[in-house]
Structure 1
Amino acid sequence: MINVFQPSLGEEELAAVGEVFESGWLGRGSRTSTFEAEFAAHIGVGGQHVTAVNSCTEGLFMAMELLEIKPGDEVVMPSVSFVGAANAVASRGADLAFCDVDERTLNPRLEHVTEAVTDRTKAVVVLHYGGRPGWVGDIALWCRERGIALVEDAACAVASTVDGVACGTFGDIGVWSFDAMKILVTGDGGMLYARDPELAARAATMANLGLLQSSGLAAASAGVADRWWEFEVSSFSRRSVTNDLASAIGSVQLRRLPAFVRRRRAIAAAYRLGLAGLGTLRLPPELPEGHLSSEYLFWVQLEPQLRDELARHLRKRGIYTTFRYFPLDGVSAYGARHSPAGAARAASTTLLLPLHQALDDATVQQIIDEVREVAS
């Protein structure tokens, strides 16, 4: 089966893991600190603003806690979003307000967000769908002017920028994913960015159970003469840190990321060329000037019956396709209701084609040929 997602791992990652084994320390340590500094440089911020966590979802949960979201508050997010973001809001007892998305890009426009905002809105969460930055600059400015926090779910946008500014750094908090289906992978893992230095410091402490010292060994090494094992707790937090095994892989993957993204952009360009001119099929719009996408997802859109026919045809030919993300306002746990018009149309017409850096030219052409057989 040709997969939609597939990581690229090899000897460099194995060697990095071997070095961690040889060190005798597998938990959070120097390699995690190094990975944090490297990722901070990658997104153009100071190292004190980022904290490595065990998943992007955990980063979203932490974001809601850092922003002190509580019952009675409202958080706006696109209907087409990842379930982890909605769970993070719901876990705080706050109300979810789902906004519409542009049916072609599956990102919310500013007007979609503003239509959902009320006087109870405490925060807005945006997902950079498929790695496309979307209207994040407009949304960030609007939120900042009104004192509404903006959280960027940049799980799909590890190398996405607008005029050189990294997605995930426009708002107050940004989170990235390094799970097994992403571009940069560590097995599981993520990174959290906080713009405000005090919020960033709280995040680092929160990620480690709220402990005001990292360990007794650290205290002893710092010169504490007596009872270095004693501690204080600043928040009733979870253990959200990652470890040196994942971070060692992450450092290698970060070095390889530019090559990964170049290949993904080449595949996306091949899809655009090979699938152009099919009257029944729509491609994602061209990116605006100054926007760069990580090209995490590539999708085609057809009328619902033909979309489903194409998915079945490709699956029979050994090509797996899917749609992400199912509109959250269709989920009963969140109080199911009718999806906004754009989100509903996108969900019924959109199909994700395989896109990962391990695809060779022959396989890409095979996928193009199979799509054309149904959609021509």
Structure 2
Amino acid sequence: MINVFQPSLGEEELAAVAEVFKSDWLGHGPRTKDFEAAFARHIGVPADNVVFISSATDGLFLTTELLGLGPQDDVVLPSISFVGAANAVAATGARPVFCDVDRHTLNPSAEDVERSLTPRTRAVLPLHYGGHPGAIDDIARLCRERGITLIEDAACAVTSAVDGRACGTFGDLAVWSFDAMKILVTGDGGMLYARDPGAAQRVRALAYHGLDQFSGRSRSAKVPRRWWELSVRDFGHRMIGNDLTAAIGGVQLRRLPEFQRRRQAVVEAYDELLAGIPGVRLPPRPPAGHTTSGYFYWVQLPPAIRDRVAADLLDRGVYTTFRYPPLHRVPAYRAETDLPGADRAAESTLLLPVHQSLDDADVRTVATGFRDAVERAAAAART
């Protein structure tokens, strides 16, 4: 089976894990701090403003808790988004308000967001779809003008940027995902960024039982008197990262440039091999100044044949999928609202395999199979 997503792990990651084993310290410790510092350099922010956590979803829950959202609040987010984002809002009692997206880019515009604002809107939570930055600079400007908190779901955007500025640093808070299907993987894990250093400090406490003091192995021999006594000011959780996964993440971060070069080569090959198929629309090209991680490669085709093409490819050993089903159609969040861009995108979009482990033969297999599947499905639809 040619997978849609697949991590790239090898001897370097194994060696890093072995070093952690030798240290006899697997929990939150020096390697966690090193990974946080390296990721902070990667996105161009101070190290104290990023926190390595157990998952990006936990990060979203932490951001909504940090803001103190409640039943009196609304949060605007695109309907084409991961359900974890809506869950993080709803869990506080706040109301997720879904905005539309462009049917081709699957990202919202600032106008889409603005149309969905209410007098109760406390935050906006956009996703960088497939790693494409979208209109994040315009959305950030809108939020600043309205005094609304901007939370960036940068789960798919680990190398995405606008004019050299990393996605995730346009807003007040952001999360990245390092789960087993992402570009940079730690097995499970994520990173949270808070623009306000005080907010980052509180996130650290919330992520570890509400404890004020650092809890973990330190390189410094200096420890407070009666270090075992607790100073708890918040009802926190246990959502911290650890040295085992951080060691993997540190290696993956160093390898990220090679991952991106291969992914870009795969995207360019698809663009060439899939050009000119009747009725098929290829992914949008990033506008000038935009850099995308290329996490998704999506094609759009007539809704009447989309599912048939997916089934045909599966029979050939090529796995495809669609991410993410419109949240305003999900039973838990069903909303009587008209979002034609999201609905149209959901009916016509298919994600093809794209990851750095694909070789040239895999890419040709996917492209040839897709062309043939579209021709067969279109012929069947005409009869």
Superposition TM-score tier, normalisation by shorter sequence:
over 0.9
Please report how far the alpha carbon of residue 329 of structure 1 lies from its aligned counterpart in structure 2 after TM superposition. 0.9
CA distance in 1, matches of 2:254, 2:138: 31
Secondary structure in 2 aligned to 1:75? strand
Task: Tell me the equivalent position of 1:41.
Answer: 41
TM-score (norm 1): 0.97
Task: Tell me the equivalent position of 1:315.
Answer: 314
For structure 2, the residue ranges without an aligned partner over 5 or more in a row are 376-383
Task: Tell me the equivalent position of 2:95.
Answer: 95
Any idea what the Cα deviations from partners look like across 1:91-142, whole Å, max 9, x if unmatched?
Answer: 0000110000000010001111000001100000000000000000000011
**Residues 339 and 57 of structure 1, relative CA distance in 2, 3 Å threshold:** farther
CA distance in 1, matches of 2:293, 2:223: 46
Q: Which moved more, 1:242-251 or 1:199-208?
A: 199-208
Equivalent pair of 1:50/1:192 in contact (CA under 8 Å):
yes
Equivalent pair of 1:299/1:352 in contact (CA under 8 Å):
yes
Secondary structure in 1 aligned to 2:8? coil
Task: Tell me the equivalent position of 2:74.
Answer: 74
Instruction: Indicate the percent of aligned positions where both proteins have the same amino acid.
Output: 60
Please report how far the alpha carbon of residue 351 of structure 1 lies from its aligned counterpart in structure 2 after TM superposition. 0.3
Task: Tell me the equivalent position of 2:365.
Answer: 366
Secondary structure in 2 aligned to 1:176? strand
TM-score (norm 2): 0.95
**Residues 122 and 365 of structure 1, relative CA distance in 2, 3 Å threshold:** same
Q: Which amino acid aligns with 1:30?
A: P
Equivalent pair of 1:330/1:339 in contact (CA under 8 Å):
no
Q: Which moved more, 1:10-19 or 1:334-343?
A: 334-343
Please report how far the alpha carbon of residue 335 of structure 1 lies from its aligned counterpart in structure 2 after TM superposition. 3.5
Equivalent pair of 2:313/2:373 in contact (CA under 8 Å):
no
Q: Which amino acid aligns with 2:120?
A: R
**Residues 239 and 274 of structure 1, relative CA distance in 2, 3 Å threshold:** same
Please tell me whether residue 181 in structure 1 is matched to residue 147 in structure 2.
no
CA distance in 1, matches of 2:172, 2:42: 18
Alignment of 1:217-228 (within 5 A): 221-225=221-225, 227-228=226-227
CA RMSD of aligned residues (A): 1.5
Task: Tell me the equivalent position of 1:15.
Answer: 15
Q: Which amino acid aligns with 1:245?
A: L
For structure 1, the residue ranges without an aligned partner over 5 or more in a row are none
Secondary structure in 1 aligned to 2:214? coil
Task: Tell me the equivalent position of 1:117.
Answer: 117
Task: Tell me the equivalent position of 2:332.
Answer: 333
Secondary structure in 1 aligned to 2:48? helix
CA distance in 1, matches of 2:336, 2:323: 19
Please report how far the alpha carbon of residue 163 of structure 1 lies from its aligned counterpart in structure 2 after TM superposition. 0.3
**Residues 313 and 132 of structure 1, relative CA distance in 2, 3 Å threshold:** same
Equivalent pair of 2:57/2:84 in contact (CA under 8 Å):
yes
Please report how far the alpha carbon of residue 337 of structure 1 lies from its aligned counterpart in structure 2 after TM superposition. 3.5
Secondary structure in 1 aligned to 2:126? strand
Task: Tell me the equivalent position of 2:197.
Answer: 197
Task: Tell me the equivalent position of 1:279.
Answer: 278
Task: Tell me the equivalent position of 1:166.
Answer: 166
Aligned length: 375
Equivalent pair of 2:127/2:152 in contact (CA under 8 Å):
yes
Please report how far the alpha carbon of residue 338 of structure 1 lies from its aligned counterpart in structure 2 after TM superposition. 5.0
Secondary structure in 2 aligned to 1:77? strand
Please tell me whether residue 255 in structure 1 is matched to residue 254 in structure 2.
yes
Task: Tell me the equivalent position of 1:58.
Answer: 58
